Chains A and B, each alone.
Chain A
Amino acid sequence: MSKPQRKPGATDNLLLLLALVPYVLDRGEVSVAEAAAQFDRSEADIRKAVELIACAGVPGENLAYSHLDLFDIDWDLFESEGTITFWNTVALDHQPRFSAREASALIAGLQYLQAHPAYAGRGDVNEVMEKIRKGSGRGPADRIAVGAPALEEHLHALNQALETRVSVEMKYHNKRGEALLRVVDPVVLEARDTQWYLRAWCHERQALRTFRVDHIESLALTHQTHEGRESFLDDISPDLFEPSEHDVTVTLEVHPGTLPLIADYLPRGYQIPAGDKPVHVDIPFAHYGSLTRLVASYPGVIRVMSPLSARTAVADFAKAALSHYS
């Protein structure tokens, strides 16, 4: 699992308690370190959770907590060796069900995965879906469906390049519309909805770059292997578009309802304002090629306010295209 982004709250801690009990029961004995790794929490968090469970129970006959109705652990082993083992448990002994909401997220996720080359051939995806349906709580578990992203012909080759760690030679159309020949070491293949992106170490630029897979005209695996570029993953910003100092800042007028559609372009942490009045946002662009594409995708909805050169670029772009239809 990925590193938690935030400080765990009471709900996270409660969930840890509920998950820790069947986990330890299934294994018999677990070290604090193993449990910490399994749940992606600190050893201190695990110790705190075990201490809480070890004193927990249900009020018995006399409406007070007595030792028979309490959890019990091997305290000596826990304190001397950091090993968790239960002597007595109360009420909880099995893994919790998935709620209908969790189940529908998992099922929709599995449907989407079926399109990826690494999973498409797997026979067990439908079986797992069926298990999740059966193992979910009350309520509709099938109210979300996700259409599979199209199987891009390049995905198979890129997947193979990732697995065998070979460099790839490709012809790529950049945002300016220029066709470039590039040799890259693939690091990660990402999909946002139906759009696939390749993050790769670019030999020419000597830097990590993001390439849209559908903008790759052709590609070929080379015989050149590399040592793996995974170490760069930690440095990758979650934004697909990284600002640079050479960017031109353009002021756009946008209807608030349209802002989520262009979220990839918005400044980090931008709060979408309430109301239905058009708002002005300043967005940096590396060149007017990507600006005209963005504005042209939402005609009448996004307008360029300034600078004048940006307005002219959009008008010229549209006039040139319009000549085809008159």
Chain B
Amino acid sequence: MSSPAATINPEDRLFHLILALMSTTHGLNKDHILNTVRGYREDSEAGMARESIERRFERDKDALRELGIPLEAIIPPEDDGNNKNTLYRIPKGDYELPPDIRFSSPEIALLNVAAAIWREGSLSKEARIAQVKLASYGLVVDEAMVGFAPIISTRDPALSALREAIDQGRVVEFDYLKPGDTAPTARKVSPFALVNHEGRWHLYGLEHTSMKEKTFLLRRIVSGITTLAEPAEPSPEDVARTALADLEAVWRRNVARIKTTPGSDAHAVLSKKPEAVVDASTITVHYTDLAIFAGELTAFGMDIVVLDPPELKELMRQHLELLVADHV
């Protein structure tokens, strides 16, 4: 069953690695794997440098983890720091879906739509993998996707790095520019959750300097994300939902009164905001972030006047003065 190494493609080698690691109860050490598993064995026999084969094994382990395959590495207690004795295995129970979980056709269809929401940007890879796994149920998905195509954008450059850090449970550092400040400040945060509220991404986590849980708007992160080796503080239970509820509470608390030109675009758009109250030309609306809301309102130009609150009125004036100064 041995073929020249050159004809064994990567998926063939990876598939055999999975089968071997799933069939062992106690685990296999690296020597055993490299000398017996198809793809490695042929390369070993063909005299390929041991170092290159070992590097390939490292990359293969990463490839399996990327697919969500639970690869376990067991280091024996008497280990001398040399990974020669590390035993690798894929516990069948961790690999397979528990037998009591089954999906119906409508459920598969629903999950496919849920995965399709991420078809752009940094979560699209996970979504695609999930869709192939869903397809393996063999159910016919006939629910029409035509007519409905939602997308959540995941364009914020910090999003991928923060997801990675959350998954690995590690502390991050970044520069954050608060509205009104002229220079960013360095922050050190244990990242807990990513929350999309009103279409904007937020990081929720524990800030180390203040030891307080805080919400950071991703678009105000002005540096790259540095992930430290330091492990993150443990996150509270159900943290993403709590963070989202916090943002929704802020939205509810903040109320603005705005006078609009009747029949204008501004009137049409603002009166359709969730829970907006329209009283002739005056509209009462909720908002989350003062600076962002002021930006949205500035785009309506002379079709609106902010009546309340005073801090929003003042910010509008500053925005408009800045626009004039920048363009005359």
Contact = CB atoms under 8 A, between A and B. Distances in A.
Interface string B293-328: 001101101110100000001001101111110111
Contacts of B239: 142-143
Contacts of B153: 192-193, 263
B69 to A, nearest CB: 7
B323 A190 contact: no
Interface of A: 1-2, 10-20, 22-23, 26-27, 30, 38-40, 52-53, 55-59, 63-65, 69, 90-102, 105-106, 108-110, 112-113, 116, 118-119, 122, 124-125, 127-128, 131-132, 134-135, 137-140, 142-147, 149-153, 159, 162-163, 173, 177, 179, 186-195, 214-217, 230, 233, 257-258, 260-261, 263, 272, 276, 292-300, 303-304, 311-312, 314-315, 317-326
B115 interface: yes
A58 B20 contact: yes
B129 A109 contact: no
Contacts of B111: 106, 110, 128, 132
Contacts of B298: 296-297, 299, 321
B85 interface: no
Contact of B36 (A59, A272, A297): A59
Given A15-B132, A113-B117, A297-B298, 7 more contacts: A13-B9, A14-B11, A23-B137, A52-B15, A102-B126, A109-B118, A134-B101
A90 B113 CA distance: 33
Interface string B97-111: 111010100110011
Interface stretch (B47-55, B76-84, B261-269): B261-269
A260 B152 CA distance: 14
A322 B116 contact: no
B289 interface: no
Contacts of B35: 63
Contact of A230 (B97, B135, B146): B146
B299 A92 contact: no
Nearest to B169: A140
Contact of B272 (A40, A108, A214, A320): A214
B283 interface: no
A31 to B, nearest CB: 12
A17 B15 contact: yes
B231 interface: no
A235 to B, nearest CB: 14
Contact of A260 (B110, B157, B265): B157
B142 to A, nearest CB: 12
B158 to A, nearest CB: 10
B305 A92 contact: no
B68 A98 contact: yes
Given A193-B153, A260-B156, A38 B138 contact: yes
5 contacts: A18-B18, A65-B38, A159-B148, A163-B147, A321-B298
A23 B323 contact: no
Interface in B160-193: 163, 166-167, 192-193
Nearest to B10: A10
